Structure 1
Amino acid sequence: MSAHDAGSVWLNKRIYEDAEIQHYENLAKAALTPLAGEVAKARQRLIESRDTFTANIESIDTGAIKFMEKKIVEFGKSIDAILKLLKSLDARVVSLEKSNNQDKTVNAINVASVHKQTQKHADEEENDDDVDLFGSESEDDEAAAQVREERLKAYEAKKSKKPALIAKSNVILDIKPWDDETDMKAMEENVRKIEMDGLLWGAAKLVPLAYGIHKLQISCVVEDDKVSIDLLTEQLEQLEEFVQSVDIAAFNKI
């Protein structure tokens, strides 16, 4: 091989290598082109997803959220109102218990008074029994008979001066209205207008029940032979404008 041929070979080899490099570069570009397209598509999808997410956020109903917040606040206020009502009812129950205790004290005083009066009458009867209707025997029968007669007259005179014992009772009535709008003052006035022979009205007071409603608690003294409690109750219930019901809270003999 001549020197010219040898140089030509090396020159052709270089051309061959350049051609080979170009070939592989073309292959690489051909391979990268689809990948670049996929990357571009992925990027586009990301952009679209971002826009969709933004649109969804903007489409959220803020009015509904505000409505729910308002309902939550109202619910909290309702709970507070219920708690206040429970505290008020608890205070009223305590008040009713105190009132019942006071009524029991009054009844105990009445019972003690009746017992005292009964003991007084018993003592008087015992003193009457102490009168000796039959004195010691005397030798003079006539004088003894005269003494007995005088003692009998004295005993009959003492008995005749004693007033007849009238059976009486102390009654406490609970008169309930229809609602909290009932005029309780007018109710009491109409109750006291009821008159019977042997009926004497006493003290009265308003006792709380619930929800602003009060009952009228009034006492009276009745003569048992003249006044029927059932008849009195019926007359009270005839005050239909004011009275819903009548109950006997206490009944004590005097």
Structure 2
Amino acid sequence: MSFDLKNDAGLKAFNDALATQAFATGFVLSGDDAALFDSLKAAPDAKKFANVARWYKNVASYDKKERAEWAGATTSAAAAADDDEDIDLFGSDSEDEEKAKQTAERLREYAAKKSKKPGPIAKSNIIFDVKPWDDTIDIAEIEKSVRSIEMDGLVWGAGKILPVAFGIKKLQICCVVEDDKVSTDALEESITGFEDLVQSIDVVAFNKV
């Protein structure tokens, strides 16, 4: 499904879609998310399009190179080709000893440069089911409390209220975490820390992104 985010109608349609999914095509980041993000010049109005605003903040936590990889871009290969452009890997039979030394030195410098480049940041998309003690507890209050949890490397995504049984409802909410910064156990402990509201928490889905 495509959305035109340059007008309010398209933003509303996308906002409605994000009420039941974390990203443009479901619960995994894709090239559609990168394309939609690039079509926006700035973050949308959070008061009018709350789900899109959360999605925008989530996608913005990735850098341009990471977003390009979702769409299958090969910018890293192109950059490597530019770095290699002036390096003569083979040389001619008539190459003298001095030029051979220069070539070897440049190859060593190139290898050292490549080894220092940081790898991509490992991230995970998690969906939680948060259950209250009984039907007297306001699920909106639970969501407000959960979203108040702030950690370096944590971005909350879309949330929705789902029925359980006997009039009891639960909150289903997704988030993206940087694996090296956020412990899933610590995050679950923070949510269950709202002991007057939260009875239990389950991990519905856990996907690497």
**TM-score, length of structure 1 as denominator length:** 0.48
SS state at 2:26 partner: helix
1:190 paired residue among 116, 120, 145: 145
Sequence identity (%): 44
Inter-CA distance 102–235: structure 2 relative to 1 (3 Å threshold): closer
Q: Which residue of 1 aligns with 2:98?
A: 142
**Offset of residue 175 of structure 1:** 0.4
Whether contact under 8 Å (1:135, 1:144) holds in the other structure is no
Q: CA deviation at 1:214?
A: 1.6
Deviations 1:76-97 (A, max 9, x none): xxxxxxxxxxxxxxxxxxxxxx
Deviations 1:117-162 (A, max 9, x none): 38959883697499467323442121232234335435544665x4
- The 3 A distance-change label for structure 1 pair 118 and 149 is farther
RMSD: 3.4
Structure with a larger share of its residues in helix: 1
Partner-residue secondary structure (3-state), 1:247: strand
Distance in 1, matches of 2:88 and 2:98, equals: 16
Matches of 1:138 and 1:144, distance apart in 2: 11
Structure 1 runs of 4+ aligned residues shifted over 6 Å read 111-114
- The counterpart of 1:124, out of the listed 43, 52, 76, is 76
Asked if the contact 1:177/1:215 (under 8 Å) is kept, the reply is yes
Separation in 2 of the partners of 1:145 and 1:122? Answer: 32
- How far 1:240 sits from its partner (Å)? 1.0
Contact map agreement 1:172 1:217 (CA 8 A) in 2: yes
Which one has the largest radius of gyration? Answer: 1
Report the TM-score, using the length of structure 2 for normalisation. 0.57
Q: Which residue of 2 aligns with 1:175?
A: 130
1:102 and 1:186 mapped to 2: Cα distance? 21
1:126 to 1:253, Cα distance in 2 relative to 1, 3 A:
farther
**Partner SS state of residue 176, structure 2:** strand
Cα distance between partner residues in 2 of 1:127 and 1:231:
39
Work out the CA distance in 1 between the residues paired with 2:30 and 2:71.
12
1:215 is matched with 170
1:202 corresponds to which of 129, 145, 157: 157
| 1:199 Cα deviation from its structure 2 partner | 1.4
